[in-house]
Structure 1
Amino acid sequence: MGSPRHLWTGEWRAESDQARDEGASAFDRTPPPRPADDAQAPPPPSGPPRRRAGLVVGLLVVALAIAAGAFAAGMLLDGGDGGGTDPLPAVSSRPIRPSAGQTRAGAIYAAASPAVVSVRTSTGQGTGFLIDDDGTIVSNQHVVGSSSHVVVKFGQDGVSIDGDVLGTDESTDLAVVSIEPDRIPRGVRPLRFADSRNVQVGDFAIAIGNPFGLDRTATEGIVSGLGRSISAPNGFQIDEVIQTDAPINPGNSGGPLLDSGGRVIGVNSQIVTGGLSQGNVGIGFAVPSNTAREIVPQLAQGRTIARPYLGVQTSPTAVTSSTGARVTRLYDGGPAARAGLRVDDVITAIDGRTVDTPEDVVEAVSRRQPGDEVEVEVERGGRERTITVELGTRPARMP
């Protein structure tokens, strides 16, 4: 039997917690001391894009890009992102051509950095970026935390601007902040999202953010992995995450990961520390742009995103079995438990679609809505049976 699909350990620790503990000013130019992180194993090799095969299922510790705490990346029980609002458009991206004497990274930085902001709460600060002329700013949920108001600042010499938090989503670690349009500095052009399905391993990547309060710092690298899965602040799973070796450090969270055309391919969220260093060791993770394109419009409308929930934990079947996902845990009171699924049932199909792996369970459920009924085919004691399950609404936090 494979590794358990949920490996959450420890407490989720937001940037605001670290800033409070260290007593660091939001715009302190002196890097504060960093507590050590636990040593853990590296993630598995990258799987092909659009699959969840590259899941981080060891005792990999992924640190928030602005947190000192650590947690193990695990797998979502089930369910994907909610719908109901048109996603933001994806803009085709052409490489920015540097002018004479300018590097590629320098050209991208010059074009994109004016739209990158610091986002400050009463106890800490992170990064965000402007996405339209209406004053909409994207950041991380763990940067904003429970704040309803934040302070936004454009550039090193920018003035402090009051921002309202329109919505946050722990399941994707995304947040939307709004400022008055007339407070946007003249000449600042919003960043546009690329289609993250077109991203490939080896593509150029540049991260812009505010590590340790050093505003609009640029770091350069490549896309080093695709199809990763990481734990969200509420313990569920964020899928199709982009891995990069562009150095990301405390304070970068919420900032953009950009392609060679200066388009946003991801929202920087977490790093691996591995216990070998107090900072970045070359493995960072960004929430993919297509997830942001879907979720941000809903958060901007103040919507609470409802996601389908089956209420099972699964693992791959034994090597002697060719297909299926074995139920290793049923969550008390969950839809699957109420419908009669049992531990050690092997899920072989959902709504007629064959289940070969635990990832197939996630994908099948994510296509549905809370309240939908699904036909779950299971193998139990050598016999096949079909169980009808009415999907619930995913709880706010992992049970």
Structure 2
Amino acid sequence: MVRVPEGNGSGVVWDEQGHIVTNYHVIGNALARKAKIGETVARVNILASEGIQKNFEGRLIGADRFKDLAVLKVEASEDLLRPIKVGQSTSLKVGQQCLAIGNPFGFDHTLTVGVISGLNRDIFSQTGVTIGGGIQTDAAINPGNSGGPLLDSKGGLIGINTAIFTQTGTSAGVGFAIPSYTITKIVPQLIQFGKVVRAGLNLDIAPDAVATQLNVRNGALVLQVPANSLAAKAGIIPITRGFAGNIILGDIIVAVDGKKVKSKAELDRLLDEYSAGDTVLLKLQRGSENLELPIMLEEKS
């Protein structure tokens, strides 16, 4: 476990190359200044086996605001770098024991114990986005725990502690962690590319409020389809206007590979599970018709 004092947060050693995983918002001040890849954005303290803390510069490798994750790199000897073992967040059960490690209020290397209180929670991140699939725990998580590990009883990483629900600013027994399933998808991309390459349809979906005004209460309403895009070539139809200026509804995406889509946010969340180049089967509602249309996902622009 590592500490990132400038961000009042924590992190984990990812590999023997010195990559450190933490939250985006822990180094948010540096990122707000448009820090570049390779730039020093934090001082990182690593606890050596003899109990001595050693200090290193943490250089930015990559960051993703949408999943509130960031990767730093330190130039430390391999004997100091003990990579964390990654556990399986997909097999978690409500009620099983978990442990949180972090730097709450500056008390570094603090361990708290609790249970998994809930699964598939929406995390309202400090980056201003909602992250799906979160782990809820009653293990005490306080300011300074952000970026630190949530562990299973065998010491495997099952999440990165990210947020708390509180009215006082301190732990109320409702903490949230980004699951290891998400971390293992995002971190390798941050290390390789410095960013996350996301898959998308590259068309405009109407905001839910607009869709509701048009009496579309279920599904994602296609607003615009760029010319010559894969979506256009696949035959997806956007909203148009009739000769009298009346609005003619386009396609409504109601499912992706058999998984129901109830809103724009739900479509985004489903597509986040895929990679650019994957082909998905869209179920569309077009007027009174129901259609199925295969389409290849592009890199999200």
Is the TM-score greater than 0.5?
yes
Tell me, yes or no, if the aligned pair for 1:314 and 1:325 is still in contact at 8 Å.
Answer: no
> In 2, Cα distance between the equivalents of 1:198 and 1:354?
21
Distance 1:162 1:262, change over 3 A: same
Tell me, yes or no, if the aligned pair for 1:170 and 1:232 is still in contact at 8 Å.
Answer: no
Give, in angstroms, the shift of residue 229 of structure 1: 2.3
The number of aligned residues is 267
Distance 1:279 1:208, change over 3 A: same
> In 2, Cα distance between the equivalents of 1:383 and 1:278?
51
Alignment partner of 1:151 is 2:43 = yes
Alignment partner of 1:215 is 2:98 = no
Q: Percent identity?
A: 36
> In 2, Cα distance between the equivalents of 1:371 and 1:191?
31
Give, in angstroms, the shift of residue 284 of structure 1: 0.9
> In 1, Cα distance between the equivalents of 2:259 and 2:181?
26
Distance 1:333 1:222, change over 3 A: farther
Alignment partner of 1:180 is 2:75 = yes
Alignment partner of 1:305 is 2:196 = yes
> In 1, Cα distance between the equivalents of 2:230 and 2:24?
30
**RMSD, aligned CA:** 3.6
After superposition, where does 1:260-271 map in structure 2 within 5 Å?
Answer: 260-271=153-164
Tell me, yes or no, if the aligned pair for 1:314 and 1:329 is still in contact at 8 Å.
Answer: no
Q: Which residue of 2 aligns with 1:282?
A: 173
Distance 1:389 1:236, change over 3 A: farther
Give, in angstroms, the shift of residue 126 of structure 1: 1.1
Give, in angstroms, the shift of residue 243 of structure 1: 0.7
Structure with the larger RCO, 1 or 2 (CA within 8 Å, 6+ apart): 1
Distance 1:333 1:207, change over 3 A: farther
> In 2, Cα distance between the equivalents of 1:151 and 1:183?
18
SS at match of 1:249: coil
Runs of at least 5 residues in structure 1 that lack an aligned partner in the other structure: 1-115, 319-323
Q: Which residue of 1 aligns with 2:144?
A: 251
- TM-superposition CA deviations, 1:65-108 (whole Å, max 9, x none): xxxxxxxxxxxxxxxxxxxxxxxxxxxxxxxxxxxxxxxxxxxx
Give, in angstroms, the shift of residue 193 of structure 1: 0.8
SS at match of 2:185: helix
> In 2, Cα distance between the equivalents of 1:332 and 1:249?
45
TM-score under structure 1 length normalisation: 0.57
Give, in angstroms, the shift of residue 330 of structure 1: 4.2
Counting strand residues as a fraction of each chain, which structure ranks higher?
2
Runs of at least 5 residues in structure 2 that lack an aligned partner in the other structure: 240-248
> In 1, Cα distance between the equivalents of 2:43 and 2:196?
25
Alignment partner of 1:119 is 2:4 = yes
Distance 1:272 1:330, change over 3 A: farther
- TM-superposition CA deviations, 1:319-346 (whole Å, max 9, x none): xxxxx94236847979799743346854
Q: Which residue of 1 aligns with 2:244?
A: none
TM-score under structure 2 length normalisation: 0.73
Q: Which residue of 1 aligns with 2:14?
A: 131
Give, in angstroms, the shift of residue 207 of structure 1: 0.8
Give, in angstroms, the shift of residue 128 of structure 1: 0.8
- TM-superposition CA deviations, 1:341-376 (whole Å, max 9, x none): 34685433446x363645874565345444667554
SS at match of 1:257: strand
Distance 1:169 1:363, change over 3 A: closer
Distance 1:205 1:347, change over 3 A: same
Distance 1:390 1:237, change over 3 A: farther
